[in-house]
């Protein structure tokens, strides 16, 4: 017996899948030859050797249709959001107080507050703010409402500063030297002004003082002068108004009022 014949006999001895080892009955669910039947291949993958080509226009159409469906779903979801109810006059003072408190050290303008309050006009907001400020003032509350730097801001009542300073994080007033105050005053009244003009008026180099005032947020470089060398122009900041409690630069006292009489 050859090796090929011996191997064929051993293969014939292996029982079919699902039959017991001692079964001698042929399986009736298999076709002749003992092979498992398979469904005939169909569709674009029927011939594995045949290349498959896709229609770009059909692909674009499918993608476009899906994007349109998603857009309609987003529009429907947005339409389900209920409109924000208008603010009533009764609610207005409490809402304004909450907004001002949340804004912290940033003054809020009447225009911005009105934008945040649906159905409320700017004149109504200002009227409510003035009334709120009056209530704070007359009731000697621990906080005060002031109009500074083009907006409204809540401040602690300085009558109670002796208690506030006991806190480790109590706000401390900015302390300026006499020279710094002079430079700050010169810039405030003559702004925008270049450093050379400040130096000439004071008779000394004020570069370091100007840098310090910029670091404190009281001054800023607001541009360049149209002169030889194009030096920087210096101006006061919004924080300058806040620190000194002014609504705008119009609140600055007149130089004539500060002049020393001979």
Whether residue 104 is predicted with pLDDT greater than 60 in this model: the reply is yes
Q: What is the DSSP letter of 173?
A: P
Q: How far apart are CA 116 and CA 99, in angstroms?
A: 9
- Is residue 100 within 8 A of residue 154, CB to CB? The reply is yes
Element (H, E) at 144: strand 143-148
Q: Would you call 35 helix, strand, or coil by DSSP? A: coil
Q: Which of the two residues, 179 and 14, has the higher pLDDT score? A: 179
Tens of pLDDT, residue by residue over 138-168, are 888 888 888 877 788 888 877 777 777 677 5
Q: What is the DSSP letter of 165?
A: T
Res 234: pLDDT: 93
User: For residue 13, how far is the Cα from the chain centroid?
Assistant: 78
Res 149: pLDDT: 72
Domains of the chain (ranges, CATH numbers): 92-164 (1.10.10.10), 178-258 (1.10.10.10)
- Is residue 148 within 8 A of residue 242, CB to CB? The reply is yes
Tens of pLDDT, residue by residue over 31-82, are 555 555 555 555 544 555 555 454 556 556 666 666 777 777 776 666 555 6
Burial of 214 (0-12, 13-18, 19+ CB in 10 A): middle
């Amino acid at each position: 017996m050859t090796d090929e014949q011996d191997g064929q006999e051993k293969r014939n001895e292996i029982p079919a899948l699902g039959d017991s080892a001692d079964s001698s009955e042929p399986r009736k669910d298999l076709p002749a030859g003992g092979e498992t039947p398979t469904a005939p291949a169909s569709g674009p993958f029927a011939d594995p050797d045949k290349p498959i080509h896709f229609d770009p226009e059909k692909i674009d159409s499918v993608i476009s249709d899906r994007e349109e469906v998603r857009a309609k779903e987003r529009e429907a979801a947005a339409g389900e959001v209920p409109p924000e109810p208008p603010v009533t006059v009764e609610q207005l003072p409490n809402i304004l107080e909450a907004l001002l408190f949340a804004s912290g050290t940033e003054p809020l303008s009447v225009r911005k507050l009105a934008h945040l309050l649906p159905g409320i006009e700017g004149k109504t907001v200002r009227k409510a703010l003035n009334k709120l400020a009056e209530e704070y003032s007359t009731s000697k509350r621990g906080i005060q409402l002031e109009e500074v730097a083009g907006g409204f801001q809540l401040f602690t009542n300085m009558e109670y500063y002796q208690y506030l300073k006991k806190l480790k994080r109590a706000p401390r007033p900015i302390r300026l030297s006499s020279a710094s105050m002079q430079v700050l005053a010169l810039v405030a009244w003559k702004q925008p002004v270049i450093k050379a003009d400040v130096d000439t008026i004071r008779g000394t180099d004020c570069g370091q003082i100007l840098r310090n005032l910029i670091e404190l947020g009281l001054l800023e470089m607001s541009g360049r002068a149209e002169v030889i060398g194009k030096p920087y122009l210096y101006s006061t900041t919004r924080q300058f108004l806040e620190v000194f409690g002014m609504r705008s630069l119009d609140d600055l006292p007149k130089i004539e009022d500060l002049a020393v009489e001979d």
